[in-house]
A = this chain, B = another copy of it.
Amino acid sequence: MSRPTKQSPERGSARTRLLEAARDTIRQKGFTATSVDDLCDAAQVTKGAFFHHFKTKQALGVAAAQHWAETTGAFFADAPYHTPDDPLDRVLAYLAFRREIIAGETAEFTCLVGTMTQEVHNTSPDITSACADSIFGHAATLEPDIAAAIVAHDIRGDWTAESLARHMQAVIQGGFILAKASGNPEMARESIDHLIRYVRQLFNIGETP
């Protein structure tokens, strides 16, 4: 995080503002199409400040992915889907929550690291690995609940909590692509509905609660 100073709390915030600008701008235009000047304009920062905080544009990409992991990590940790007692209910509440937050402009609900991965997976290992950490790290937070649900509901199948957690991320990411292609968020919600139905079926609970 940034280092706020005593007399001027605004100082030292250039880095944070750049990361926020990156989050917003890259989600709209993609990583490559976002120029350093774009970011400096959006963050109200000069180029000198940019290259003071980030050695290269790639380094900004890595930092943006890490910043995304941190902020979304906190966001999901504070989200209300953890409250149910039954672990399966927590899993389903997670999916309902993911569905809920799909609203507004496409660039507002889609995933920064999913977008960046698609672009740079073959050209920038650093950014790719930071994106992977974010995606699979988030998936990992779901595993305990899924594993507990498997035990609680006495389920046995040839799939693991790990793979289901990853599949959930795949469905969400794929939904974002259809939403972007069509300009319609409903495409993303629709896929989560199928995913919810799948999970309910996996755990042998009825179609409608």
Residues of A within 8 A of B (CB): 28-30, 32-33, 106-107, 113-115, 117-123, 128, 131-132, 135-136, 157-159, 163-164, 166-167, 169-175, 177-178, 180-183, 187-188, 190-191, 193-194, 197-198, 201-202, 207
Contacts and interface: CB of A to CB of B under 8 A. Distances in A.
Nearest to A181: B132
Nearest to A117: B181
Contact of A180 (B117, B175, B182, B207): B117
Chain A binding surface SS class: helix
A158 B191 CA distance: 13
A153 B192 CA distance: 24
A189 to B, nearest CB: 10
B170 A177 contact: yes
B198 A178 contact: no
Contacts of A158: 207
B197 A122 contact: no
Contacts of A193: 159, 163
B198 A170 contact: no
Contacts of A183: 121, 128
A208 B103 CA distance: 38
A161 to B, nearest CB: 12
Given A28-B122, A30-B118, A32-B33, A191 B178 contact: no
A28 to B, nearest CB: 5
Top 5 A-B pairs, shortest CB-CB distance: A174-B174, A170-B174, A121-B180, A32-B32, A132-B181
A60 to B, nearest CB: 16
Contacts of A207: 157-158
B30 A182 contact: no
Nearest to A184: B132
A132 B194 contact: no
B181 A128 contact: yes
A177 B118 contact: yes
A182 B175 CA distance: 19
